Amino acid sequence: MAKLLNIYSRGYVGARNKFQHILAVDRVAFRVCRRNLEGTAALSPKLQTFVEKNVALCQPEKVHICDGSEAENDKLISVMVKLGTLEPLPKYKNCWLALTDPRDVARVESRTYMSTDNKRDTVPAGSAAKNTLGNWISPDDLNKAVQERFPGCMKGRTMYVVPFSMGPIGSPLAKLGVELTDSPYVAASMRIMTRMGAPVLQAIQNGSDFVKCLHSVGRSTEPNNPWPCEPDRTIIAHKAATNEIISYGSGYGGNSLLGKKCLALRIGSTIAKREGWLAEHMLILGITNPKGVKKYIAAAFPSACGKTNLAMLTPSLPGYKVECVGDDIAWMKFDSQGRLRAINPENGFFGVAPGTSYSTNPNAMKTIFENTVFTNVAKTSDGGVYWEGMEPNPNVQVTDWRGQPWTPDCGRNAAHPNSRFCSPANQCPIIDPAWESPEGVPIDAILFGGRRPQGVPLIYESFDWKHGVFVGAAMRSEATAAAEHKGKVIMHDPFAMRPFFGYNFGNYLDHWLSLEKTPGRKMPKIFHVNWFRKSDQGKFLWPGFGENVRVLEWVLNRLDGNESMAEKTAIGYIPSDGAINLDGLDEPIDTKQLFSVPKDFWLNEVEQIGKYFDEQVGSDLPNTIAEQLHQLRDRVNSM
């Protein structure tokens, strides 16, 4: 304890007011530490230095070292209720509503950067003036940005020191982080989304390294703003070389819960490349067929394209069981037997609320009405929540996410389209028994997918690993509300990782291609799915949700090597006639449209992909991927 006290007063003598300020921090830190860190001798020297340096920079009024306890959480919540950041939802147990500043509602990709010495380590060599596959900031410019923003930014506020683990503590695949934040919302959310608190501090004290995360919501112009933020000066930056994350100006989701996209994907993918594994924007599910055979599948879809829903699927086909390992991120590594093993590094779900209902995702509904923080959903006069698609229409008064009275015919959304629930994963009724297994679950299939209203069949299977990597590289999807993009334009989103690559996408492709070169590995089969194809009348051709098990059944059959169930097309194998079980569906399916591979569409697709590779990847594109594109062009041309 004395050591910690020293830390805070060392080196500040001379600047009198600063010194007084540090003394104030001292007293609090001392008190907090004695209460919260019983049994822990002290912070590790590295952590001590990290905290000390950023206390000097940000000048918080207090420092609170989080232990992750329930008592601490209760305090955080009461602080937020007092500030007006949270309000209780008495209809449910321990549930809370946060309404953000309407300018701070989603990830801001345009202000999210990787900082590397060489630009090329982040940005591929494409010819485009604006590269969309890597947003680079020089270390000098980042330093400047930090100096322009952080000094004194936490004045009058508490700095929470949030120690967290991505992955079960002690798993060989897990990584630790410490987030310094001035947002109690972030501290409380990190407690749900990660393993947070004293055991992590202990692991760090015992010598484990950690990723350094610094977060501030910024300075608010209004003194008592319940959701302080600085949208005009928001920046989210990553220094992969030193495992550092710096985020300023936003309190929302992936911008501020730094274990998620920042650590588990951007920093994670960089570490994974170095260490020979994969950090991916993927759900993980276990599926057991009626014979009792269980397989695990990972699936990468862009943000708001169906990962949480597939991960928690309630099968409509009798005899099938789906269990959830994770809904957003997978860390995967080949084991000594050559099996690809995956862990979910997260501890909770930060899921899209709109569209979630007892008919679409009953398992989510059974997960989220306890111990949950809702953000930007509407509230009801009986102390509950509401959002588009929740069903049935509420028969009580609704107040929208902006605080205005709302009725179904008022022409506005009740909930923000990117409103979310933040719930503990272990509350999911179908959480997989192995979801915290330190060695991870064995992956047999990888699905890529996106929102493709036209031209892309319900499912197709790649010919082999190389073709599968190409399919991931060529992914496109309609933009959603998860980031700042406007409208429904079809965007390229390779591997559903475009906003999350931690390093040059060309090198990422090399890494994926290299994985099959180690002898003795059982490579997963790679598929592409599309739940979102529409008829000429603009109606979904496939019912989706629980009915998607019919597609998973075909995947399982193909994993078993069932040849008669597939038909070769220019783009891959598609289900042969009758190979997808359509028994018992409410409405007839136009299978002809659903599975068609229109030549014109695919000629254009090939052209768009080629253009994208030239403009965005250039000479960093592996030859193998360029060859795959040529082969696809040839196959489509000879259709």
Which positions from 104 through 123 interact with ligand SPV, judged by CB under 6 A? 107
Q: How far is the CB of 108 from Mn ion (least distance, A)?
A: 15
The answer to whether 410 is a known catalytic residue is no
218 touches 103 (CB < 8 A): no
With respect to Mn ion, which residue has the nearer C-beta, 283 or 570?
283
Establish if 450 lies at the interface with ligand GTP (CB under 6 A): no
How does DSSP assign 290-335, residue by residue?
TTS-EEEEEEE--TTSSHHHHHT---SSTT-EEEEEESS-EEEEE-
Of 273 and 420, nearer to ligand GTP (C-beta) is 420
Cβ 580 vs Cβ 552: under 8 Å: no
Binding mask 205-244 for ligand SPV (x = CB under 6 A): ----------------------------------------
DSSP-derived 3-state class of residue 269: helix
Identity of the residue, 239 or 261, whose beta carbon is nearer to Mn ion in the bound complex: 261
The H or E element spanning position 175 is strand 175-181
Nearest CA-CA partner of 162 in 298, 45, 257, 38: 257
The distance of closest approach from Cβ of residue 231 to ligand GTP in the complex, given in angstroms and rounded to an integer, is: 20
Cβ proximity to Mn ion, 229 vs 330, nearer residue: 330
Instruction: Please state, as a whole number, how many other Cβ atoms lie within 10 Å of the Cβ of residue 615.
Output: 18
**Which two structure tokens, joined as six digits, stand for 93?**
């147990």
62, 195, 212, 260: residue in contact with ligand SPV (rule CB under 6 A):
260
**Quick check: 229 and 218 in contact, CB under 8 A?**
yes
- Asked if the bond preceding 392 is cis, omega within 30° of 0, the reply is yes
The entry of ligand SPV, Mn ion, ligand GTP, none near residue 260 (CB within 5 to 8 angstroms by kind) is: ligand SPV
Residues 462-491 that bind ligand SPV (CB under 6 A): 482
- Chain positions 338 to 367 lying near ligand GTP, rule: CB under 6 A, are 351-352, 354-355, 360
Cα separation, 377 vs 352, in Å, equals 10
**Alpha carbon 64 to chain centroid, angstroms:** 27
In the complex with ligand GTP, which residue's Cβ is closer, 544 or 618? 544
Instruction: Out of 33, 66, 153, 305, pick the active-site residue.
Output: 305
| Residue 253 in the binding site for ligand SPV (CB under 6 A) | yes
Binding site residues, Mn ion, CB under 5 A: 303, 328
Among residues 303, 344, 320, the alpha carbon closest in space to that of 194 is found at 344
Judged by CB under 6 A, which stretch of 141-149, 157-165, 253-261, 584-592 contacts ligand SPV? Answer: 253-261
User: DSSP assignment of 26-66, as one string?
Assistant: HHHHHHHHHHH-TT-----HHHHHHHHHHHHHH--SEEEE-
User: Which residues, 519 to 558, sit near ligand GTP by CB under 6 A?
Assistant: 531-532, 540, 544-545, 548
User: Which of Mn ion, ligand SPV, ligand GTP, none does residue 351 bind to, with CB < 5 to 8 Å depending on kind?
Assistant: ligand GTP
| Burial (0-12, 13-18, 19+ Cβ within 10 Å), 358 | middle
Choose, by CB under 6 A, the member of 59, 189, 303, 413 that binds ligand SPV.
303
State the Cα–Cα distance between residues 431 and 367, nearest whole angstrom: 10
Nearer to ligand SPV, 54 or 181 (CB): 181
Footprint of ligand SPV on this chain (CB under 6 A)?
Answer: 107, 253-254, 260-261, 303, 328, 350, 482
Footprint of ligand GTP on this chain (CB under 6 A)?
Answer: 301, 303-309, 327-328, 351-352, 354-355, 360, 482, 531-532, 540, 544-545, 548
Active site residues: 305
